[in-house]
Amino acid sequence: MKRLLILNSKGGCGKTTIATNLAGYYASAGTPTALFDYDPQGSSHRWLEMRSDELSNIHGVFAAKPTQGAVTQAFAQRVPGETERIVVDTPASMKRMEMMNMLRNAAAVIVPVLPSAIDRHVTLDFIQELTTLCRQMGINIPVGIVANRVRLNTRAFKQLQETLELLDIPLVAFLRDTQNYVHAAESGCAIVELKTASMKKDRQQWLALIEWLESAHTPPMTPTAEKQQAGLHS
């Protein structure tokens, strides 16, 4: 069982978009999947409630909801025994101890970032905080960055790439800015489950992230791979 943590202290960077689409990707591929929503806003939880029974099942846990009566937190957050992937959607801000508890159980961390000046700088500070915390905890967790809502050949995206080059954290995927994500969110499905002509581009972009998550090692995206994925935007 792999626990995949979607993490960034910056709100509005696309954590729920990544979490729901990642869970949907795994489920549609036949992998027993659970989706944990630790955000009090409950966006991932609402997405699951909108999900059609005709789509692949995803076990949902609204972890931000307080337990009631004699129900313990451990019991409320249990998952089916056959579960192979747990995707965790986190809130915009967490206390240090909360983040440490999540990191201890994580197989990998995905940090979404938008190509804007504010997001770049806030995410840069967060990644430095994250790597320092992991070092202090004595844990070595693969951390990868996903650029979200990307428009190729824009100054904002180029500046994002330049900022990320300053880090030792790899850019493992970037996702284009498309209304397909809006349509998917409104229907409780993952973008890879949409039946649209433009789905091929989005599916290939998600493959880059899945391959990184499922690989034994987490090398940074090579210049060749960046060019190949960039071609999907055209």
Q: What is the pLDDT of residues 76-129, one digit of tens each?
A: 678 889 999 999 999 988 888 999 999 998 999 999 998 888 888 888 889 989
pLDDT digits (tens, 9 = 90+) for 42-79: 999 999 999 999 999 999 999 987 765 555 667 667 88
pLDDT on residue 197 = 73
What letter represents residue 134's amino acid?
C
- Residue 156 resides in a domain: no
105: in domain: yes
Residue 160 lies in a domain: no
Q: Do the domain assignments include residue 157?
A: no
Tell me, letter by letter, the H, E, C secondary structure of the chain.
Answer: CEEEEECCCCCCCCHHHHHHHHHHHHHHCCCCEEEEECCCCCHHHHHHHHCCCCCCCCEEECCCCCCCCCCCHHHHCCCCCCCCEEEEECCCCCCHHHHHHHHHCCCEEEEEECCCHHHHHHHHHHHHHHHHHHHHHCCCCCEEEEEEEECCCCHHHHHHHHHHCCCCCCEEEEEECCCHHHHHHHHCCCHHHCCCCCHHHHHHHHHHHHHHHHCCCCCCCCHHHHHHHHHHHC
147 inside domain? no
42 located within any domain: yes
State the pairing for strand pair 33-37/2-6.
Answer: unpaired
List the CATH number of the domain containing 70: 3.40.50
What pTM was estimated for this model as a whole? 0.86
What's the structural domain count of the chain?
A: 1
In a domain, 33, yes or no: yes
* Residue 134, domain member (yes or no): no
Query: Each residue of 194-221: pLDDT tens digit?
Result: 887 777 788 889 999 999 999 854 444 3
Domain containing 201 equals 2-109+179-233
Phi and psi at 206, nearest 5°, equal: -70, -30
